[in-house]
Structure 1
Amino acid sequence: MKKSVDGRTPLDSNRLRLSKVKSTAAGVSAAISSMNHGIRKMGVTRTVQSLLMVNQKDGFDCPGCAWPDPAHRTSFEFCENGAKAVADEAMKAKVNASFFQKHSVADLLKKSDYWLNSQGRIAQPMILEANASHYTPIEWDDAFRHIASSIQSMDSPERGVYYTSGRTSNEAAFLYQALVRALGTNNLPDCSNMCHESSGKALTQTIGIGKGTVHLEDFNHSDLILVIGQNPGTNHPRMLTALRDAKKRGAKIISINPLPETGLKRFKHPQDYMTGDVKSTQLADLHVPVRIGGDAALLKGVMKQLLALDAINRDFIDSKTRAFEEFESSLSTQDWQQIVNDSGIEREMIQEIAQMCADSKATIACWAMGLTQHKNGVAVIQEVVNLLLMGGHIGRLGAGVCPVRGHSNVQGDRTVGIWEAPSESFLAKMEQGLQFELPRKHGYDVVHSIHAMEEGDVDVLVCLGGNFLSATPDTPRTAKAIQTVGLTVQISTKLNRSHLVTGETALILPVLGR
């Protein structure tokens, strides 16, 4: 019998290195770093070929983040993060049968996540038999028969769970959900359950659709851009270009985050040097160091001040919204000292933010997981929407909500059917296209999938990309749950910890990146 493991990454004993915070983001150093990463992992020829195809119409979408592509693209439509992500996916090193013959699962569990990822692309199908210490090769047909046999032997289709990562392409995700529903279940948890699920819930309940309402072009027509709970310079560097262009057109930018980020202080686009432009751009007009968990209080303070200024769009409110009187009454009961205490922001700064909102004819609110990861994430995002509704900033050029996703296809996967709780209208339309009856019972999201494993209710776990173990909450608990499953299948490009904490039998199926 396999020894139970808790799945946590080994402790890193390396000393921390502290360096001075940079004063400007991107610039020449980012361009040099991008090339160095590519050449080291892919070689010169493959680096040039790959990077020239990133985010091009005849190329491929960058796996680095979810920022959209502009209508008019340059030859170098990627950032340092994107170059690193492409180099990581296209590296020459291979993980094959000889690698697994050399390294037991127990040995690999002692390695860091960085080391596992650095070993290269998985090159062939592998199987970890029950009670075995090493993965061994398996032919594709044998692997498929093993999966089919395990699924067919389940007492109910509900005993299968089929996870999806946002790195999956639209086409693969569509076929995957069709296969799963043909098997008779909606057990389709995905990585969005752990990142922007609160955005989808909040937006659906407030404006009727769980997606952003702006296009990239809207940033060029905005008067005010709120960047809340997000570090674009670190996580979505190409967004800095959109903010720079908006800034040059006269937009104001407010950064609301506990800590300042270099990218929102000053930004220098590496390609500007080609035109002789050596100046950097100051982006944020105001940094608001909100207390962690204090976003709701801050937003309530801003809205309370807007009411005091009577700086609201009453025509829009009367014709397009509901329950404004109750909302207004609720704000009137908010105590200013409590708002200041909870938000960590003085009343004078809150009033300054409100005045900037009042002066704006078109406001965009962007946010990321600095908002979504809180217990009250849904409620906080609803306050963001309320702030925009007060000024009529929905359905207007240069205005709207912009939840900035992390993986480049989280939204696409949900749109094509990776959804454990689909609506009746969605299923009815999907049936028209697929021409077979789909199950109606809602399936498991990520957390409920783990609960089902703990109860012994899951026989097969299939993961299309991603790292289910490390991405989910409470790693030891998730690891214990996974080890109750009969068969786990990882469809992957690179090695990760989910390949080492498995069910009784485990398969790794290699795939090409998109």
Structure 2
Amino acid sequence: MAETKKQIPESGHVAPYHHAAAGWGALKYVAINLFKERVSGANYKTLFAQNQPDGFDCPGCAWPDREHASTFEFCENGVKAVAAESTSKRVTPEFFAAHTVAELLAQSDHELEQHGRLTHPMVYDAARDRYKPVSWDAAFKLIAGELKALDEPDQAAFYTSGRASNEAAFLYQLFGRAYGTNNFPDCSNMCHEATSRGLPGTVGIGKGTVTLDDFEHADTLLIFGQNPATNHPRMLGELRECARRGATIVSINPLRERGLERFTSPQHPLEMLTMSSTPISSMFVQPRLGGDFALIKAVAKRLLELDDMALLTGAPRLLDLDFIAAHTTGFQDFARDLRTESWALLLEESGVQRAQVEQLTNVYIRGERVIATWGMGLTQHKNSVPTVQMLSNLMLMRGNIGRRGAGLCPVRGHSNVQGDRTMGIEERPTPAFLDRMEKVFGFAQPRHHGYDVVATIAAMMEGKVKVFVGLGGNFAMATPDTPLTFKALQSCELTVHISTKLNRSHLIHGRKALILPTLGRTEIDTRNGVPQGVTVEDSMSMVHISYGLSKPASPDLLSEIAIVSRMAEATLGQRCKLPWKAYRDDYALIRDDIEKVFDDFYDFNARVARPGGFHLKVASREREWVTASGKAQFVPHAIERDTPIRRARARYGERLMVMMSTRSHDQYNTTIYALDDRYRGVFGLRRVIFINQADIDMLGMKNGDHVDVETVWDDGVERRVRDFRLVAYDIPRGCLGAYYPETNPLVPLASVADGAGTPTSKSFPVLLTRTSVAAVA
């Protein structure tokens, strides 16, 4: 499926960025975004309540707050998220009356974002190709009618974005399971699913084992596949403090990101006034795309070799033998696999020289308290589950799990993606969870597994899913194989999107379609005169409450909780005795029922009322292993020899490139705030490809040339995007970087992480060809 939409040539430039991350540049762009969004003075003041005990939780990333009570807890990208929500620009019924869906489809994602906040529920009018106003009662009646008309509950899918609160997510899964399905695709399916599926097999639970307190005691940090300056900037504050007290920080990433080189903290006046900065990483390792697994295994192999040498010479052992004996199983099989693994294969697959592997191993050995953090650079490959498990193996070798100042730290993206999964947004629920749900609510739970994101798209294409409901997000643009996803959504009988702002998913609709506008997290949510708060769970399992402070963008908005509960009432009627109206009138009642289902949420309302909230117990942090053996488990994995990328490389040789998609700095997920990526030196451009200069030379091209990109896959489908500008960059040979969602059309739906189903958006095989003038014209 080739890209068919004509592209408007971008005007912009590329210039190296020599400044530290953040600093005055960040403050400049904060001011620009507040002005661009026309944020009023009253809403401007709400920024100072962001991430405060009596304020609202940032609707951006899931990085935790220092005691949730510091005086200045927002970052540049957090401001962008709040400014976008607090904008004075509005998308009204008059706006929709003036634009057909076809006209809006011709606009860029950035242009769609700039129109502002949705104000009224809208229904699609096929005869006029326009959305028109609809009453809330009529909207819920339409949803209920379509759901009731389905032949079986599994013909509906309920998608969830990580912006949904714990309370909304809990009601959403309660409604879906009362309706009769486990079809709960969610944004986790596209990002950290490999973490959620991989860690239970090693340490028993798919969550990280550290808190912010551990960063104060760590002496070594290994940062895999992350760009904190863009994706979770407040993490740089923690890294700055670690670096200033002498901790060793290693960045392991194909791209040498500016934010992990130097950082100027806007919260420290001396650095700002003196134009100084703090060096962050003392070592950079750049594996090839998909090479992290081989690199981590190589470090584990070298560690074992050095421990064998210590045993022979009588030197102190390098493995934590006491920990391994008391807390783990499977080490002998794992060690046997390491000893028989080929060094040549490990180095070839990782793309890292032996000397640097040994240097990285020595850093790990010197560390007494090591934290390993990772983002989607580790989780969006075919081998992502083995990679996460191999990293867990490496940390177990030296007892770096369940020790103060050490542990596993997956850094989630969206603000409540981890909380949504905790609340039961899970297409593969455990029998224990379903048993508890039956006990608490008194109705039989669906027991078969449902569809994840990729399976949902396939099911829509096959006519197996006919109603799609999206609780937040931009499903059409966040997902892989974009033209196929568009056709899948358009084949539905009904698509429903619960949103704050206009996005392309509203325009790629089913035969019938609804846009349901909802309150943002920054906005006051009052029921019967009482302000209502909602909770979220951050990347480190802290749960805290959030209260909006801004006037709602429109009096016609409903909260996510009100929308979900009214959908449930309209659909389930008298056959379901759950107190939907009581839930939306008092969110504390939802938390009371969450407490009944999840033991770790005991005294939920009382504990979350304390400043900073509370920490959910993570068993592996306490060295309690919820595994079949009752111990942490070493899991050996071999390097897979027969993969799509290996087959493509055998066919095309050095012309075959492996591409990853990534965010720009002026972007959060699929939301495009502006067209700059200043830390990478890209301004006013998005259709760019980061490529090694030696690869440009090999292809017979020049820096700045324009190319088309075609996926190499074996299903006979053409996947192509056109007219991208080459940008010479510090990236390993044979590897490419480009922005999403522009390159999502290149990711085949069938290209997923084994055992997780996550699209392989960080490694897919492509070919580059020169863009012809005729193709662009």
Indicate whether the TM-score tops 0.5: yes
Residue in structure 2 matched with residue 359 of structure 1 by the alignment = 366
Paired letter, 2:33: H
Q: Tell me if the contact between 1:385 and 1:401 (Cα under 8 Å) persists in the aligned partners.
A: yes
Q: Tell me if the contact between 2:100 and 2:128 (Cα under 8 Å) persists in the aligned partners.
A: no
SS in 1 for 2:468: strand
Residue in structure 2 matched with residue 81 of structure 1 by the alignment = 77
Paired letter, 2:44: V
The Cα of 1:361 is off from its aligned counterpart by 1.2
Q: Distance in 2 between matches of 1:6 and 1:423?
A: 40
Match of 1:503 among 496, 502, 510: 510
Q: Distance in 1 between matches of 2:2 and 2:133?
A: 26
The Cα of 1:450 is off from its aligned counterpart by 1.2
Q: Tell me if the contact between 1:302 and 1:353 (Cα under 8 Å) persists in the aligned partners.
A: yes
Residue in structure 2 matched with residue 202 of structure 1 by the alignment = 198
Q: Tell me if the contact between 1:190 and 1:418 (Cα under 8 Å) persists in the aligned partners.
A: yes
Q: Distance in 2 between matches of 1:353 and 1:428?
A: 46
1:176-206 superposed Cα distances (whole Å, 9 cap, x missing partner): 1111111111111101101100111111111
1:45 aligns with 2:52: no
The TM-score with structure 1 as length reference comes to 0.96
Q: Tell me if the contact between 1:219 and 1:246 (Cα under 8 Å) persists in the aligned partners.
A: yes
Q: Distance in 1 between matches of 2:227 and 2:509?
A: 34
Residue in structure 2 matched with residue 224 of structure 1 by the alignment = 220
SS in 1 for 2:498: strand
- Over the aligned positions, Cα root-mean-square deviation in angstroms equals 1.8
Paired letter, 2:394: L
Paired letter, 1:67: W
The Cα of 1:301 is off from its aligned counterpart by 1.4
1:289 aligns with 2:296: no
- Point out the more displaced range, 187-196 or 299-308: 299-308
1:314-333 superposed matches below 5 A: 314-333=321-340
1:77-129 superposed Cα distances (whole Å, 9 cap, x missing partner): 01101001110111111111111111100111100000011101011011113
1:264-295 superposed Cα distances (whole Å, 9 cap, x missing partner): 11111112116987441111010011111211
What is the total number of aligned residue pairs between the two structures? Answer: 510
Paired letter, 2:503: N
- Point out the more displaced range, 25-34 or 399-408: 25-34
Q: Percent identity?
A: 51
Match of 2:262 among 261, 266, 282: 266
Q: 1:51 to 1:252 in 2, by over 3 A?
A: same
Paired letter, 1:496: N
Q: Distance in 2 between matches of 1:153 and 1:7?
A: 35
Residue in structure 2 matched with residue 425 of structure 1 by the alignment = 432
Q: 1:8 to 1:84 in 2, by over 3 A?
A: farther
SS in 2 for 1:494: coil
Structure 2: runs of 5 or more not aligned: 308-317, 522-777
Q: Distance in 1 between matches of 2:517 and 2:174?
A: 21
Q: Distance in 1 between matches of 2:418 and 2:233?
A: 19
Residue in structure 2 matched with residue 239 of structure 1 by the alignment = 235
The Cα of 1:345 is off from its aligned counterpart by 1.5
Paired letter, 2:284: H
Q: 1:72 to 1:496 in 2, by over 3 A?
A: closer
The TM-score with structure 2 as length reference comes to 0.64
SS in 2 for 1:507: strand
Match of 2:349 among 342, 347, 350: 342
Paired letter, 1:384: L
Q: Distance in 1 between matches of 2:100 and 2:351?
A: 51
Paired letter, 2:72: F
SS in 1 for 2:73: coil
1:444-467 superposed Cα distances (whole Å, 9 cap, x missing partner): 111111121111112211101001
The Cα of 1:249 is off from its aligned counterpart by 2.7
Q: 1:426 to 1:390 in 2, by over 3 A?
A: same
1:296-315 superposed Cα distances (whole Å, 9 cap, x missing partner): 11111111111122121111
Q: 1:8 to 1:512 in 2, by over 3 A?
A: farther
1:417-445 superposed Cα distances (whole Å, 9 cap, x missing partner): 11111001111223333343322121111
Q: 1:135 to 1:259 in 2, by over 3 A?
A: same
Match of 2:159 among 159, 163, 168: 163
1:178 aligns with 2:185: no
1:306 aligns with 2:303: yes
- Point out the more displaced range, 449-458 or 334-343: 334-343
SS in 2 for 1:270: coil
1:348-398 superposed Cα distances (whole Å, 9 cap, x missing partner): 111111111111111111111111111111111111111101111111111
The Cα of 1:12 is off from its aligned counterpart by 4.2
SS in 1 for 2:49: coil
Paired letter, 1:41: E
Q: Distance in 2 between matches of 1:45 and 1:432?
A: 50
Between Structure 1 and Structure 2, which shows a larger proportion of helix residues? 1
The Cα of 1:167 is off from its aligned counterpart by 1.0
The Cα of 1:6 is off from its aligned counterpart by 9.2
1:220-254 superposed Cα distances (whole Å, 9 cap, x missing partner): 11111100011111211100001111222321101
Residue in structure 1 matched with residue 484 of structure 2 by the alignment = 477
The Cα of 1:131 is off from its aligned counterpart by 4.7
Q: Distance in 2 between matches of 1:288 and 1:423?
A: 39
Q: Tell me if the contact between 1:367 and 1:402 (Cα under 8 Å) persists in the aligned partners.
A: yes
Q: Tell me if the contact between 1:9 and 1:112 (Cα under 8 Å) persists in the aligned partners.
A: no
1:493 aligns with 2:500: yes
Q: Tell me if the contact between 1:8 and 1:476 (Cα under 8 Å) persists in the aligned partners.
A: no
Q: Distance in 1 between matches of 2:51 and 2:5?
A: 33
Q: Tell me if the contact between 1:489 and 1:508 (Cα under 8 Å) persists in the aligned partners.
A: yes
The Cα of 1:481 is off from its aligned counterpart by 1.2
Q: Tell me if the contact between 1:7 and 1:497 (Cα under 8 Å) persists in the aligned partners.
A: no
Runs in 1 of length 4+ with deviation above 4 angstroms? 5-10, 274-277
Match of 2:15 among 10, 13, 19: 19
Match of 2:405 among 394, 398, 405: 398
Paired letter, 1:156: E
The Cα of 1:136 is off from its aligned counterpart by 0.8
Q: Distance in 1 between matches of 2:394 and 2:511?
A: 51
